Amino acid sequence: MDMSVFDLFKIGIGPSSSHTVGPMVAARRFLVDCGPLEDVVSVEASLYGSLALTGVGHATDKAVILGLMGETPQGVDPTRVDAMLAAAEEAGELALLGHHKVPFKMATGLLFHKTESLPEHPNGMCFTVKRANGSTVSKVYYSVGGGFIREQGEGQETSARPASAIPYRFDTMAQLLEHGKASGLTIPQMLRANECVKISNEELDAGVDRIWQVMRDCIAHGLDTSGQLPGGLHVKRRAANLWRQANDPKALNNHANDLPHDALHQVSLYAMAVNEENAAGGRVVTAPTNGAAGIIPAVLRYYAEDCHPSDPVTGVRNFLLTAAAIGMLCKRNASISGAEIGCQGEVGVACAMAAAGLVAALGGSNQQIENAAEIGIEHHLGMTCDPIGGLVQIPCIERNGMGAVKAITAASLALKGDGTHFVSLDEVIETMRQTGADMQAKYKETSLGGLAIHVITVNHAAC
């Protein structure tokens, strides 16, 4: 496997890695691959399957237009998105890749095919440009989770690093454990060696530190921002108010029925703060997706502040390298796309990544790391992806809080054992894949089943 830690952890914007980040990347890539744009007279984008069904709630429409304008998830300013889109719609034209202007109105240039799916993945999209001579160029792309995309007919997406050069190549956890036995290295040490085939140690550390900084900033902004989330459900942001209560001595004294679990309560608030930021279209890190972006930052902050590490910088780096290894295995052998296998592939995988990372940061063995990851996924098996209104809000935000707490529990269980366990990580990942394949499409990010239908039906009945 030649995936990189920076393939799993991408800096982008909310609310969805598969519905926002991926389509933005695909739209921009399409125009770049088209070559010269001077003779292009029109552009059209068609969305299929899950992208069409929940695209508006997930800001896919906005993402596609931004991508056509040349914006990138890591470079676009979240505070300017609405103004940029409004100006383009008012003008009735887009500046393709920021330069060549063509007529464009969202109502006619962006098509939603809600009853059709393309063959290779539920998140399919097709882009077409027409040139002045009447010829057209069309390409189909798939957003396959975590911000990863692939063009129709491409194999599994990977980084550009030559596979043969990687010293500890692994496609399963069993292979990674064997490498560890033979070399005497820990999982983060082996991941570091793999990464340093392509970049230096200093570059790797700077990149990982940057990821952690963006995660910390996201938590901080979420814990300081109140108000209402966009989208029409009128969901209030709760993390900031709950955080103030948690740190107000007067409020603490007035809550006689509060449970004595301040550290875990704060962890859940960290995770919720991140996912409220994500739901508001803010700056987040896919970890491994946007819908599950709060779990790893929350557990990392718990490690840095509550576990009192002697070397937190090294611990954080080991955490993220180890978490990436688990994410790679899940992506390689199952999926991290809610549209493909449900929320078990998002919150479940993020929980496993965080649990394994925490064990590694605390000095656990490779076997204990595997055990923690396996526990994290096992207790999310079968979790559906059923966002109400197609928005990454209910139940997504709270699921991140719960997933973060589960990750700490999984790490604690693993560290208290000797690394032996009955179910292997490879077995539970394969179980997750099969469970996702058996899951009905209405429970996989289409908002056609589960809470997405039941809650709306009940609310309408009450009116």
Domain ranges of the chain: 19-143, 173-249+259-455
289 pLDDT more than 80: yes
Question: Based on the number of CB atoms within 10 Å of its own CB, is 227 exposed (0-12), middle (13-18) or buried (19 or more)?
Answer: exposed
Whether the predicted pLDDT of 164 surpasses 80 = no
Higher-confidence position of 445 and 262? 445
Instruction: Find tokens 């007919």 and name the residue.
Output: 153
Q: Which residue has the tokens 């292997």?
A: 424
Residue 36 pLDDT exceeds 80: yes
The confidence score (pLDDT) of residue 458 equals: 45
Query: Cis peptide before 288, with omega less than 30 degrees from 0?
Result: yes
pLDDT score, position 192: 98
Q: Which amino acid is at 337?
A: S
Q: Given this model, what pLDDT does residue 38 score?
A: 95
Question: The domain 19-143: what is its CATH number?
Answer: 3.30.1330.90
- CA 363 distance to own-chain centroid: 26
How much is the pLDDT for 272? 98
261: pLDDT strictly greater than 70: no
Mean pLDDT of the chain: 93
The mean per-residue pLDDT over the stretch 236-256 comes to 79
Q: Say what the pLDDT of residue 262 is.
A: 73
Dist. CA 457–CA 459, nearest whole Å: 5
388-411 core/surface letters (b: 16 or more CB in 10 A; e: else): bbbbbbbbbbebbbbbbbbbbbbb
pLDDT band at 165; cut points 50, 70, 90: confident
* Residue 129, CA atoms < 13 Å, CB-side half-sphere: 24
pLDDT of residue 102 exceeding 80, the answer is: yes
> Would residue 234 be called left, alpha or beta, if left means φ above 0 and alpha means ψ between -120 and 50 degrees?
left
Q: Please compute the mean of the pLDDT values over residues 158-185 and round it to a whole number.
A: 84
d(CA 180, CA 186): 6
Section 350-375 average pLDDT? 98
